Structure 1
Amino acid sequence: MLKGKLVQLKAVEREDLPKYLEWMNDSEVRQYLAIGISYPLTMTEENDWYESMLKDKSRKTYAIHTIENDQLIGNCSLFNINWKNQSAVTGIFIGDKNYWGKGYGTEALRLLLYLGFQEFNLRRIELGVFEFNDRAIKSYKKLGFVEEGRKRRAIYRNGNFYDEVIMAILREEYLEKFQKEDEERWRQY
């Protein structure tokens, strides 16, 4: 659907579900996810998620595939889309740990921001990230997200409570940072 240099965003397919199930049940991957899902997650629950995702008009979800070998490595979404207020929440995860810390997630989110601001005409995109996820926070700041606040001691992980950092980027901030790059990128196609 949308290609970068490292990744492409595609529609989520039913065939992707076993891989998602594997990742959702991996404790190292799960520790970074804000979603409240049962553990262990079952294939029935994963199928239910897939069916609800297809029907949800306030959600746009994409599978993240590598350009190099078309391998599924994660997932990203715009959800709780408020079309009237032109706002959404975003979430992303790279489930394949071989691709952690190598720019794949940053580029996938960059492509998702393009869709949100340029295709869906959103004005504001926010996210929540745990304070201990330094790699993600660095990536979000690189893309132009700004910390707006914290939900203090809102998340319990590994025997401790942690803050959830709330970050957001506005359309004008996105355009200031990426409009020239967008124009050059899409001129190629």
Structure 2
Amino acid sequence: MLRLRPYKSCDAEKISEWIKDEDVFVKWGGDHFGEFPITAGIIDDKYRQSNGDYKELDNFYPWIAIDDENRVVGHFIIRYIHDDNRILRFGWVIVDSTIRGKGYGAEMLRLGLKYAFELMDAKVVTIGVFENNDIAHECYKKIGFKDKEITEKEPFNIIEMELKREDYIA
């Protein structure tokens, strides 16, 4: 059983370790962060507000998943992309690289969807699968996301997926 909590500065080191060897982050990191590997300091600087708080940054909500033994096992971000239409975007879905394949990612997303639809009153949640990652794609389908479009452009092939409120099963 997992639970979610807002990101804290102490999580940055773990996140940077998980993504260090991921091909998708090697390509994507330099673009969005200006360098690769993405360090804990870069992550923390990106997430922190000027007042030092991490919970909310311009409709940007970084979350950490915690298991029953209080271990940090994953991370993802919820972000409003269209406030008026209540469309939320899930991004940076990462599970601890030493424990992948145990269903933590799916559980994190189920909790995230519960939060998005039931507490943030989302109408639509979207997510993108980079490089046509078959494992992630199948995981998202099992949770209820449906293919919206496939974009083939460099440096990524992206499968855009969405889940509408009326299709969400609590």
In terms of mean alpha carbon deviation, does 140-149 or 125-134 score higher?
125-134
TM-score of the aligned structures, taking structure 1 as reference length = 0.76
Q: CA deviation digits over 1:147-188, x for unaligned, max 9? A: 110111333xxxxxx5200000000000xxx24xxxxxxxxx
Q: How far apart, in 2, do the equivalents of 1:31 and 1:142 lie? A: 28
User: Could you list the per-position Cα deviations for residues 31-61 of structure 1 after superposition, in whole angstroms to 9, with x for gaps in the alignment?
Assistant: 6978833202234322211214545131122
Give the whole-Å Cα distance in 1 for the aligned partners of 2:95 and 2:106: 14
Partner of 2:46 in structure 1?
49
Structure 1 vs Structure 2 CA RMSD: 2.4
Take 2:95 and 2:103, find their aligned partners in 1: how far apart are those partners? 14
Residue type of the alignment partner of 1:8: R
Q: TM-score, normalised by structure 2?
A: 0.84
Q: Following TM superposition, where does structure 1 have runs of at least 4 consecutive aligned residues deviating by more than 4 angstroms? A: 31-35, 52-55
Residues 6, 61 of structure 2: 8 Å contact kept: no
**1: CA distance, partners of 2:129 / 2:47:** 23
Judge which range, 96-105 or 35-44, deviates more: 35-44
Partner of 1:151: 151
Amino acid at match of 2:59: S
Deviation at residue 106 of structure 1 after TM alignment: 0.3
User: Greater helix share, 1 or 2?
Assistant: 1
Q: Which residue is equivalent to 2:105?
A: 105
Give 5+ residue unaligned stretches, structure 1. 156-161, 180-189
Deviation digits for residues 105-148 of structure 1 (CA, Å, limit 9, x no counterpart): 00100100011001000100111102431111111101111111
Q: Which amino acid aligns with 2:15?
A: Y
Are 1:166 and 2:167 an aligned pair?
A: no
| CA-CA distance at 1:90 after TM superposition | 0.5
Unaligned runs of 5+ in 2: none
Give the number of equivalent residue pairs. 164
Max Rg structure: 1
Q: Check the 8 A contact 2:64/2:75 in 1, yes or no.
A: yes
- Contact kept, 8 Å, 2:73 with 2:95, in 1: the verdict is yes
Partner of 1:60: 61
State the identity as a percent: 27
Q: Which moved more, 1:35-44 or 1:77-86?
A: 35-44
SS at 1:75's partner residue?
strand
Q: In 2, Cα distance between the equivalents of 1:41 and 1:167?
A: 26
Pick closer, same or farther for the CA change 1:168–1:32 going to 2, 3 Å: farther
Q: 1:32 to 1:137 in 2, by over 3 A?
A: farther
Q: Select 2:8's aligned residue among 8, 13, 33.
A: 13
